[in-house]
Amino acid sequence: MSLIECVRVSFRSIRANGLRSVLTMLGIIIGVAAVIAMVAIGEGTSSSVASQINGLGSNLLIVSPGQATQGRVSLGAGSLNTLTMADAEAIAENDSVAGVAPSVNGRAQIVWGSNNYSSSLEGTTADFLQVRNAEVAQGRFFSNFEVTRQFNVAVVGTEVVSNLFKNATTNPIGQTVQINRVPFTIIGVLKSQGSSGMTNNDDRILIPITTAMSRLTGGKNVGTIYVSAASSDVMDKAQQDIRQTLRAKHNLRPQKEDDFRITSQSDILSTAQEVSSSMTALLSGIAAISLIVGGIGVMNIMLVSVTERTREIGIRKAIGAKRRDILRQFLIEAVTLSLIGGILGIAFGVGAALLISKLGSLSTSISLTPILYAFLTSSLVGVIFGVYPARKAAQLKPIDALRYE
Amino acid sequence: MRPVIQIEDLKKQYQIGDQEIMALRGVSLTIDEGDFVAIMGPSGSGKSSMMNVIGCLDKPTSGEFYLDGQPVSLAHDDELAVIRNQKIGFVFQNFNLLPRTTAVENVELPLLYGGASAKERRERAIKALISVGLAERLNNKPNELSGGQQQRVSIARALVNDPVILLADEPTGALDTKTSEEIMGIFQRLNDAGKTVILVTHEPDIAEYAKRIVRFRDGQIISNEVVQERRIAQAEEVRT
C-alpha cells in the first residue's frame, strides 16, 4: 500500500472518531504550543535584555566602589565610599579611555509654578552624552565649564517634561525650576531612550556633579564612575589601566585587595544571557514533559484503535496485507495524529507568543528553530509511541482477527 | 483437468490450555480446476480448519498442500499474504467489508496490496462490481447497502484479482432464501465461466448448488460424491 493511501486511510479513521482524535491531539497541541511560546518568551527576553544593556553605552566600563567587610562578612557592593572626583580625573588621563562620567544618584522633587514631580536625579559631567550613549533633543548639555563652576543648570528627560509642564505649551528650555528647593535653569531635554530593565531612561534629571554634591546630595564621594574605552579592542587594556590608576591613587599595597570593582558591559551581558538561557531551558524542559504526556495519550488511543479495528486488520490480512503493510498503516496513523497536533500546537504557540507580546510587557521573539524542532519532535513522538500499537496490530493472526467480535 | 488443490495427509492440531485437539486427522483431497465443491459437516467436524488451511489463513501441523501447483505448507506469513492476495478470493458469511468505505474502495483493497496503479485499480474494481450487478451502487458505503448487495460487493472484491479459487465460507448464512438463491446464482455463473469455487456450508440446500459435496466428521472426510440432482439457481435477478 502506498504512502498516500496510508495517509488517506489514517485521515479517514481520524475523522471517523473526531472528538476522540481531537482530545488525543490536545496533549500534543498543548505540549508543542507550550514549547514554542516558552522559547519565544525566553529568546525575546534575552534579546531585549541584550539591547537594553547595549543601550547603556558603548564600550562601557562601570567602576563601582568595593565592598566593605565586617568580620569577614561582605556588606555588599557599594558599601564603601571609595571613589572620588579625583579618581575620575585620574582615570581620564589614560589613553585607552575616551570618556569618563562620574555620577551621584538620588531622588529629587522638581517644581515649576504650581506643578511638581518627583524623579531620579543624577549628577554627572559633560562626558555623559558620549559615555552613556545619550543625545540631546532640544537645547544643549552642560559644559565642563559649568561643571567646574557648579552652575545650577539641568537637563531633563522627556518624561519629566511631560509631567512637569503637563499641557502647557511652554518651551521648557530657559525655564527656572526648583529642584529640592534650589533654583535651576533647564538648558536641555534628552532624546527619548525608553526604559532599560527597571529604570526608565526618560525619567531623570541631570545636573553637574559638582552642583549635586555640594547643594543636593552632600559628601565628596561619587557613586559610580562610567568610563568609555577608546575602542572595543582596548576594553581589556582600559580595564587594566583603570585598575592600576585607582590602586596607585588609593595607595593600595600589592597584597591588598582592590577597594573598587570594574564591570564591563560584556560581563553584564553574559550574566544576563546565562540567566535567561537557563530560564528558557527550564521552561522548555517542563513543556517537553507535557509533550511526553501527549505522546502517551497518542499511544493509548492507538491501542484502543487497534483493538477496535481488529476485524478490519483481519480483513486486510485475509486479502493480502503483509505485516509491514499493517505496521505502516498504524504507524502513519499515529504520526498523522501527532503531526496534526504538532502543527496546531505550532499555530497556537505562535499565536500565544504574539498575543503575549501585544498585551503584556514581555517581549517575544519567534524563530524558525523551535518550530522545526517542535515539528520533528511531534512526528518523533508519533513514531515512538505508535510503534508498539502498530506492532501489536501487525502481529495479529488473520484467523483470530477475523473471528474477533 | 489440472488440479488446483492437492492435499495429502493433512493434520491440524490445536492447543487449547493443556488440551490438544486434533481438528484434522489426515485429510487428502484433490480439487480440479473448474470444479464447484461444497464442504459440509457439523460444527467441530474440521470443515472450518480445512477452510482456513485452504485459504492460507492458517498453517497445517503436518501434511502436504499444493495450491495451483505451488507448495504452501512451508510458506511463512508474508508469503502466505501474497498467496492469499493473488490466488484466493474470500467471501465471508458476514461480508467483512470495511465500514465507512465505499463499495468501489472495498473492491479495490486487494489491488492496493497487490501494487496496481490507482487508475487500474479503479477500472478493475468497477468492472468487478458491474459483473455482480452493482453498477449503480459504486459509491455506497456498506451501511447503505442491503445484505445481498453487501455480499455482491464482497464477491466482487474476491474476484477483482482474478484468483485461482473462490473460497466462500457460509456465504448465505446471513441472507434470506431469495437472496441466497441470487448469490448462489452468481457463484454458479462464475463457475460456468471456469472459476473454481469452494463453498463451506452446513445447509444441505445450499450445498446442492455445487457439483460435488465433501462431508467431514471428526476431522476426517467421510464422503466425497458428485451431486446427483444439482440445483440450478433461477437466472439471477440483478437488483441494483
The DSSP-derived string for A116-144 is EEEEEEEEE-TTHHHHTT--EEEE-PPPH
Q: Same structural domain for residues A394 and A327?
A: yes
Q: Is residue A88 part of a domain?
A: yes
Which of A194, A228, A258 finishes a domain? Answer: A258
Q: Is residue B210 part of a domain?
A: yes
pLDDT of residue B240: 44
pLDDT of residue B187: 94
- Cα separation, B83 vs B70, whole angstroms: 10
Residue numbers in chain B where pLDDT is lower than 70: 235-240
Going by C-beta distance under 8 Å and a sequence separation of 6 or more, which residues neighbour residue B120?
B111
Yes or no, beta carbons of B157 and A319 under 8 Å apart: yes
Q: Same structural domain for residues A94 and A152?
A: yes
- Cα separation, A243 vs A249, whole angstroms: 10
Q: Is residue B240 part of a domain?
A: no
Between B80 and A39, the more confident residue is B80
For residue A1, the distance in angstroms to the closest alpha carbon of chain B comes to: 5
Q: Is residue A265 part of a domain?
A: no
Signed CA dihedral, B194, B195, B196, B199: sign only: negative
Q: Is residue B236 part of a domain?
A: no
For residue B48, the distance in angstroms to the closest alpha carbon of chain A comes to: 11
Q: Is residue B21 part of a domain?
A: yes
Q: Same structural domain for residues A210 and A92?
A: yes
pLDDT of residue A250: 85
For A80, phi and psi rounded to 5 degrees?
A: -110, 145
Mean pLDDT of A355-370: 82
- pLDDT tens for each residue of A119-144: 999 999 999 988 888 888 889 999 98
Q: Is residue B239 part of a domain?
A: no
Place of cell 474476484: B159
Q: Is residue A64 part of a domain?
A: no
- pLDDT tens for each residue of A20-29: 899 989 988 9
Nearest-CB residue to A319 (from B52, B90, B99): B90
Q: Same structural domain for residues A162 and A254?
A: yes
Yes or no, beta carbons of B96 and A12 under 8 Å apart: no
**Pair B166, B159: CB distance under 8 Å:** yes
Q: Is residue A72 part of a domain?
A: no
Q: Is residue A276 part of a domain?
A: yes
Q: How confident is the model at residue A283 (pLDDT cuts 50, 70, 90)?
A: confident
Say whether A40 sits in a helix, a strand or coil. helix
Say whether A246 sits in a helix, a strand or coil. helix
Least confident range of A100-104, A326-330, A370-374 = A370-374
Q: How confident is the model at residue A348 (pLDDT cuts 50, 70, 90)?
A: very high
Place of cell 507550550: A34
Mean pLDDT of A325-352: 91
Radius of gyration of the CA atoms of chain A, in A: 33
Q: How many Cα atoms are found within 13 Å in the side-chain-facing hemisphere of A144?
A: 6
Which of A258, A283, A309 finishes a domain? Answer: A258
**In terms of residue numbers, what domain contains B209?**
3-226
Q: Is residue A68 part of a domain?
A: no
- pLDDT tens for each residue of A49-93: 777 777 777 688 888 887 666 666 665 555 567 788 888 888 888
- Cα separation, B40 vs B58, whole angstroms: 19
Q: In sequence order, which ranges of A83-230 are alpha helices (DSSP H)?
A: 85-92, 128-131, 144-148, 158-164, 209-211
The 8-class DSSP code of residue B97 comes to P
Q: Same structural domain for residues A252 and A274?
A: no
pLDDT of residue B182: 92
Q: Which residue of B has its CA nearest to A315?
A: B96
Mean pLDDT of A230-249: 87
* C-alpha dist (Å) from residue B202 to A125, A402, A403, B173: 110, 20, 18, 9
CATH code of B126's domain: 3.40.50.300
Q: Nearest CA to A97 among A212, A223, A244?
A: A244
pLDDT at A214 over 90: no
Q: Which residue of B has its CA nearest to A396?
A: B77
Nearest-CB residue to A1 (from B96, B100, B112): B112
- Cα separation, A286 vs A280, whole angstroms: 10
Q: How confident is the model at residue A346 (pLDDT cuts 50, 70, 90)?
A: very high
* C-alpha dist (Å) from residue A335 to A289, A389, B46, B118, B191: 19, 12, 43, 24, 45
For residue A11, the distance in angstroms to the closest alpha carbon of chain B comes to: 12
Q: Same structural domain for residues A106 and A220?
A: yes
Q: Same structural domain for residues A230 and A342?
A: no
Radius of gyration of the CA atoms of chain B, in A: 18
For residue A292, the tally of other CB atoms under 10 A from its CB is: 15
Q: Same structural domain for residues A93 and A214?
A: yes
- Cα separation, A208 vs A226, whole angstroms: 15
Yes or no, beta carbons of A12 and B100 under 8 Å apart: yes
Q: Is residue A248 part of a domain?
A: yes
Looking at the structure of chain B, the number of domains it has is 1
- HEC-encoded secondary structure of B107-127: HHHHHHHHCCCHHHHHHHHHH
Chain A interface mutation, best of B109, B111, B154, highest count of A Cβ atoms under 10 Å: B109
Looking at the structure of chain A, the number of domains it has is 2
- Cα separation, B227 vs B209, whole angstroms: 8
- Cα separation, A334 vs A303, whole angstroms: 10
- Cα separation, A321 vs A138, whole angstroms: 82
**Pair A264, A61: CB distance under 8 Å:** yes
Q: Same structural domain for residues A275 and A188?
A: no
Q: How confident is the model at residue A405 (pLDDT cuts 50, 70, 90)?
A: confident
- Cα separation, B104 vs A315, whole angstroms: 16
**In terms of residue numbers, what domain contains A159?**
81-258
Q: How many Cα atoms are found within 13 Å in the side-chain-facing hemisphere of A150?
A: 8
Q: Is residue A358 part of a domain?
A: yes
Q: Same structural domain for residues A287 and A364?
A: yes
pLDDT of residue B24: 93
Q: Same structural domain for residues A40 and A139?
A: no
DSSP H/E element including B153: helix B147-159
**Pair B61, B22: CB distance under 8 Å:** no
Q: Same structural domain for residues A242 and A164?
A: yes
Which of A258, A282, A301 finishes a domain? Answer: A258
pLDDT of residue A114: 87
Q: Is residue B232 part of a domain?
A: no
Yes or no, beta carbons of A321 and B113 under 8 Å apart: yes
pLDDT of residue A197: 55
Q: Is residue B202 part of a domain?
A: yes
